[in-house]
Chain A
Amino acid sequence: MKRNPLLIRRLALGVLALALLGALAFVALRTGPLAPTRVTVAAVQQGRLSPAIFGIGTVEARRSWMIGPTVAGRVLSVKVDVGDTVQAGQLLAEMDPVDLDQRLAALDAALARTASTQAAAQAQVADATARRALAAVNAKRNQDLAAQNFISAGALEARLQEKASADAALQAAQANLSGAGQDVMRQRAERAALAQQRGNVRLLAPADGVVTSRDAEAGSTVVAGQPVLRLVDPASLWVRLRVDQGRSAGLATGLKASIVLRSQPRTPLAGQVARVELLADSVTEERIAQVTFDAAAPASVGELAEVTLQLPETPTALLLHNASIQRQQGQAGVWRLDGGKPVFAPVQLGAYSLDGQVQVLNGVKAGDEVVVYSQKALRAGSRVQVVDALVKGQSGPAGATP
């Protein structure tokens, strides 16, 4: 008896209908809002962290100078250019002395004049001394004569008065002499002062260094304090590091640093923290530290650098991946899987490392399974399905980038 084609057809249609309904059910349960959320989990484990501090900074020169005049004037000549290496004491530039030389000459003449005055006073002293000597001898003789009553008392008084006058004249002459001497000294001092000023218009290098800027040319007028040249000591370059205040725990002098200059991103340079500034920046909320290079670095002043400071390893503690950390209403916590359902467990966090590991001080135990990655935000009691990885090629936190 041949099979009824109608029956076969009905059977086939039935199978098709079932298949279609099955597909419908499949899509409804697997991909729509009814589907469970896919998550990856990791067990909380013990471990040690190598925390580090990261910040960016600019290369600055520790020692730099602005070379300029102390009084307003005109630049006469600039002897060096940008990039020149100079020695300490080298003449870098000269200001226009204007009338200083003439005034020096005037003072020279004045000095000569006071010398002459001094010589005149000297001669006067000699003259007064001679008169005094004569007056004294006369007075003595007349006294002797007066004692023998050979002369009148009046004649003796006259002679005595002459002696006194001669004494006074001598004192006056001597005082004149010392006055002339003081005059000379005064003139000398004035001349020395003007010579000092004359020396000031020569701008000398205060120390060895490299010229970084030539700010005024010969003939320009500059005021006091305005630089004509800027010098930098190339051996004194360091990085002025800025670290977020919130992430600067452990910042201290002496920490070993790894410096990556913007111009050489592939070769980190070694250095160490030389100074942590007492004054932080409250506007940008950053702390400042100065990091020196261990070896001379081919950097430019103003270049950007990224600095990583290595902190000492922490003792063994429970570690979590920082992708697990959630915050609800300001409280940090993780989603712990309890019987296959996620439960929010508040935790207290400790140190963290730059590759994403965080210390957990309390809130979970070793071996607890916590959710690391999830497709959607979780709520308490959401349906979850644990998978190996959510993104192809990323096999979980072990494959995370440092």
Chain B
Amino acid sequence: MTQAPSSGGILIEGLRKVYGQGDTAVEALKNVNMTVGPGEVVGLVGPSGSGKSTLLKCLGAIIEPTSGRMTLGNELIYDNGWTTSDLRALRRDRIGFVFQAPYLIPFLDVTDNVALLPMLAGVPNAEARRRALELLTALDVAHRAKAEPSQLSGGEQQRVSIARALANRPPVILADEPTAPLDSERALAVMRILNQMAQQAQTAIIVVTHDEKIIPTFKRIYHIRDGQTVEEAGEGRALL
């Protein structure tokens, strides 16, 4: 049973995505229902080919679903059609992305990598950099603020990319296999940070993963198979 969150968070109702037409049509998402509250960190687990990448792309306003409803925070962004014309601004301001690889811009230093999104949103450079430094401090990479991405270790880069996702204070963060290349200690560290940030900023975080190391940390998990989701309560193992 779905329940609309009081404020923030994600609500997906009856999302459907069909690729192609006619005989070659493929129904990647059949009837997806998800809800994530602000401050929640939810796992999205499923085998490859189950449609989780498609779901992520729909959530990230990268591809257009075929039908359904999506609400981001208080804003209905999709109702059988995009409700806003500027998807880019949506991605920039309302959604944060954390990728498998850090994908930092190599020719910007760490601070500017994080401050880029606010700057693109029109925030003055000094203010954007200040905000970036705050985030970097919170993520304990402030000592690398002036370094180039190539000089950082893998874990440091990942933390910087998380900071970048948070820089514009989006209500939602989509993380795509963020712990795949990491060992268990580092993976748990990343999950710890995500949970901290979610709490602090009341951000709703969806983590797509099939990493066995972190699945136990989720309180709620959505399993997706053949384009359908099933909610399940997770272990909710504590991270300290």
Are A and B genuine complex partners? yes
Q: Which A positions have Cβ atoms within 8 angstroms of B?
A: 4-6
Q: How far is the CB of A13 from chain B (nearest CB, A)?
A: 13
Query: In whole angstroms, what is the CA distance A243 to B109 when docked?
Result: 89
B231 within 8 A of A: no
Which residues from 176 to 198 on chain B have a C-beta closer than 8 Å to any C-beta of chain A? none
Q: Is the interface of A mostly helix, strand, loop or mixed?
A: helix
Q: How far is the CB of B105 from chain A (nearest CB, A)?
A: 13
B146 within 8 A of A: yes
Return the 5 tightest CB-CB contacts between A and B, nearest first. Answer: A4-B146, A6-B109, A6-B148, A6-B146, A5-B148
Query: In whole angstroms, what is the CA distance A40 to B146 when docked?
Result: 60
Query: In whole angstroms, what is the CA distance A4 to B146 when docked?
Result: 7
Q: Across the interface, which residues of A come within 8 angstroms of B146, CB to CB?
A: 4, 6
Query: In whole angstroms, what is the CA distance A247 to B175 when docked?
Result: 104
Query: In whole angstroms, what is the CA distance A6 to B148 when docked?
Result: 8
Q: How far is the CB of A277 from chain B (nearest CB, A)?
A: 94
Q: Across the interface, which residues of B come within 8 angstroms of A5, CB to CB?
A: 148
Q: Is the interface of B mostly helix, strand, loop or mixed?
A: loop
Q: How far is the CB of B152 from chain A (nearest CB, A)?
A: 14
User: Which residue of A has the minimal Cβ distance to B109?
Assistant: A6
User: Which residue of B has the minimal Cβ distance to A2?
Assistant: B146
Which residues from 96 to 146 on chain B have a C-beta closer than 8 Å to any C-beta of chain A? 109, 146
Query: In whole angstroms, what is the CA distance A6 to B150 when docked?
Result: 13
Q: Across the interface, which residues of A come within 8 angstroms of B109, CB to CB?
A: 6
Q: Across the interface, which residues of B come within 8 angstroms of A4, CB to CB?
A: 146
Q: How far is the CB of B38 from chain A (nearest CB, A)?
A: 38
Q: How far is the CB of B70 from chain A (nearest CB, A)?
A: 41
In the assembled complex, 5 residue pairs joining A and B whose CB atoms fall closer than 8 Å, in A order, are A4-B146, A5-B148, A6-B109, A6-B146, A6-B148
Which residues from 140 to 188 on chain B have a C-beta closer than 8 Å to any C-beta of chain A? 146, 148
Q: Across the interface, which residues of B come within 8 angstroms of A6, CB to CB?
A: 109, 146, 148
User: Which residue of A has the minimal Cβ distance to B151?
Assistant: A5
User: Which residue of A has the minimal Cβ distance to B148?
Assistant: A6
Q: How far is the CB of A172 from chain B (nearest CB, A)?
A: 160
Query: In whole angstroms, what is the CA distance A261 to B45 when docked?
Result: 117
Query: In whole angstroms, what is the CA distance A5 to B109 when docked?
Result: 11
Q: How far is the CB of B138 from chain A (nearest CB, A)?
A: 22
User: Which residue of B has the minimal Cβ distance to A5?
Assistant: B148
Query: In whole angstroms, what is the CA distance A4 to B151 when docked?
Result: 12
Query: In whole angstroms, what is the CA distance A6 to B109 when docked?
Result: 8
User: Which residue of A has the minimal Cβ distance to B112?
Assistant: A6
Q: Across the interface, which residues of A come within 8 angstroms of B148, CB to CB?
A: 5-6
Query: In whole angstroms, what is the CA distance A6 to B146 when docked?
Result: 8
Query: In whole angstroms, what is the CA distance A4 to B148 when docked?
Result: 10
Query: In whole angstroms, what is the CA distance A226 to B146 when docked?
Result: 116
User: Which residue of B has the minimal Cβ distance to A7?
Assistant: B146
Query: In whole angstroms, what is the CA distance A159 to B146 when docked?
Result: 187
Q: How far is the CB of A269 from chain B (nearest CB, A)?
A: 88
Q: How far is the CB of B149 from chain A (nearest CB, A)?
A: 12
Q: How far is the CB of A72 from chain B (nearest CB, A)?
A: 115
User: Which residue of A has the minimal Cβ distance to B107?
Assistant: A6
Q: How far is the CB of B132 from chain A (nearest CB, A)?
A: 16
Query: In whole angstroms, what is the CA distance A5 to B151 when docked?
Result: 12
Query: In whole angstroms, what is the CA distance A5 to B146 when docked?
Result: 9
Q: How far is the CB of A334 from chain B (nearest CB, A)?
A: 65
Q: How far is the CB of B89 from chain A (nearest CB, A)?
A: 30
Query: In whole angstroms, what is the CA distance A164 to B109 when docked?
Result: 176
User: Which residue of B has the minimal Cβ distance to A6?
Assistant: B109
Q: How far is the CB of A178 from chain B (nearest CB, A)?
A: 151
Q: How far is the CB of A137 from chain B (nearest CB, A)?
A: 178
Q: How far is the CB of B160 from chain A (nearest CB, A)?
A: 16
Q: How far is the CB of A394 from chain B (nearest CB, A)?
A: 58
Q: How far is the CB of A76 from chain B (nearest CB, A)?
A: 118
Q: How far is the CB of A254 from chain B (nearest CB, A)?
A: 95
Q: How far is the CB of A93 from chain B (nearest CB, A)?
A: 112
Q: How far is the CB of A1 from chain B (nearest CB, A)?
A: 10
Query: In whole angstroms, what is the CA distance A5 to B148 when docked?
Result: 9
